[in-house]
Structure 1
Amino acid sequence: MPLIRWLASFTTDAVGDGAGWLRDWNLTHVVLDPVRSYLTAHSAGLPITAETLWWTWSVAGVGLFAFAFLWRAVAARLGWVLFGAATVAMVWATTTGPARTTTAGIAALWWIVLSLFALRRPWTQQRVTVHLPELPWLARILQRHE
């Protein structure tokens, strides 16, 4: 039981520290702030708060990435593609003025870099061995030309 308690505490602290590090990093604000603004502006009339919507979007992104990266789940990979497209669209829609294309480009760049890991191929390639029928006439032809 103490080990489980320590592991839960360690995981909670690690996630909190990681979230704080990302929150303080300015390049993340370029993407995350417009997404949060979009979700806040479009949460009116929903039975959940804008904060809940924000955390749902965040957990969905982390979950899709984890399932795509660790288990190579096809549904998670498709979800990751849709998640990235929706993120770029939210950044595009929220940002105004000349910074619109820049912020959407940065969002797309972030998503592409993360997709290199989430959509990677397996390390081991499956090999297919095909046994051809014996062709004695072909063997005779090849032996004559040696």
Structure 2
Amino acid sequence: MQSDDKPVSGQQNPNSPSFLDLLDQMPPPPATGPDKDSGTNLAQLRAAWNASWEQGGFLHGRWEELRQVPQAGWHGMANWIKAVLILTGMCAVIILLDTAGDIFDAALNRLADAVPATQVGTSATGEFWGVVDNPIRTYIAQHTAGLPVSGAAIYIFWQATGLFGLIGGFIGATGARLTWTCWGAATASVVWTTTPADGRTVATAIAVLAWTIASTAALRGLSLRPFININNFPPPAPAFQPQIEIRPEIHIPAPAPAPDDDAPDNVHPFQR
């Protein structure tokens, strides 16, 4: 019989009382004196805390779910543990991307300082990002005049779509990888369309190269080689080996004895 504190297939037991329910069900202990209200509340809180850690309590059930994570695996753990792990992973990826951007910006600035003749602005990363970002902003401003949504909202949606494709593709979601592919192709097309003819080729090349560099994370583990499952094919036929000689054995029955001329014709062997 399944107890109340053990999850079944990663789902929370609906019969397990919550901490607030236990707090409401606790009868108030008798108290006297001017501080009886504060003492009553503290006693109820302590009693509810102790009850939630008993067998079948809310906190006891959550602790059992945490304890069973190594044996349950990803598919068997509770849903709230999956949500916490996913949010923690997304925050870690965002922090890593922000740190990597700062490191890349510092490296480009050092490279720009080493070659003073090529210095045009104050931030090399901002210049490269402006090659892709400015055409996007211009294209959105030119083609959102008759829409019920503002250009700023569409620009934020464009950024959120790229971030979703990058993070979801890194996790391995197929839909996120398709979104990342379409997002990169649309971005390169907009840069080619909006950039003036003199710098159109260079701007599109920068956009495509930046998108392919980021695709190493978004398309991580994706292979173009076909996967062949050998279990679906019948077993191979045995190879013919001519060196093995099979000689059939032919048994020739012995000839019947010749009839005796002296024996009478009316004599026959006894048959059962």
TM-score of the superposed pair, with normalisation by structure 2? 0.39
Partners of 2:173 and 2:149 in 1: CA distance: 31
Tell me which amino acid in the other structure corresponds to 1:81. Answer: T
Tell me which amino acid in the other structure corresponds to 2:151. Answer: A
Deviation at 1:129, TM superposition (A): 5.6
Alignment counterpart, residue 118 of structure 1, candidates 213, 218, 225: 218
Q: State the match for 1:132 in structure 2.
A: 235
Matches within 5 A, 1:40-119: 40-73=141-174, 75-119=175-219
Partners of 2:158 and 2:133 in 1: CA distance: 11
Deviation at 1:42, TM superposition (A): 1.2
Tell me which amino acid in the other structure corresponds to 1:72. Answer: A
Change (3 A) 1:132 1:37: same
In structure 2, stretches of 5+ residues that fail to align are: 1-83, 106-122, 245-272
Change (3 A) 1:43 1:142: farther
Deviation at 1:32, TM superposition (A): 1.1
Q: Percent identity?
A: 30
Tell me which amino acid in the other structure corresponds to 1:54. Answer: Y
In structure 1, stretches of 5+ residues that fail to align are: none
Deviation at 1:44, TM superposition (A): 0.7
Partners of 1:62 and 1:97 in 2: CA distance: 29
- Structure 1's consecutive aligned runs of 4 or more residues displaced over 6 angstroms after TM superposition are 139-143
Between the two proteins, the alignment pairs up a number of residues equal to 129
Tell me which amino acid in the other structure corresponds to 1:62. Answer: L
Partners of 1:36 and 1:105 in 2: CA distance: 18
Partners of 2:222 and 2:197 in 1: CA distance: 42
Alignment counterpart, residue 35 of structure 1, candidates 128, 132, 136: 136
Q: Secondary structure at the match of 1:98?
A: coil
Higher helix share: 1
Tell me which amino acid in the other structure corresponds to 2:152. Answer: E
Tell which structure's C-alpha radius of gyration is larger: 2
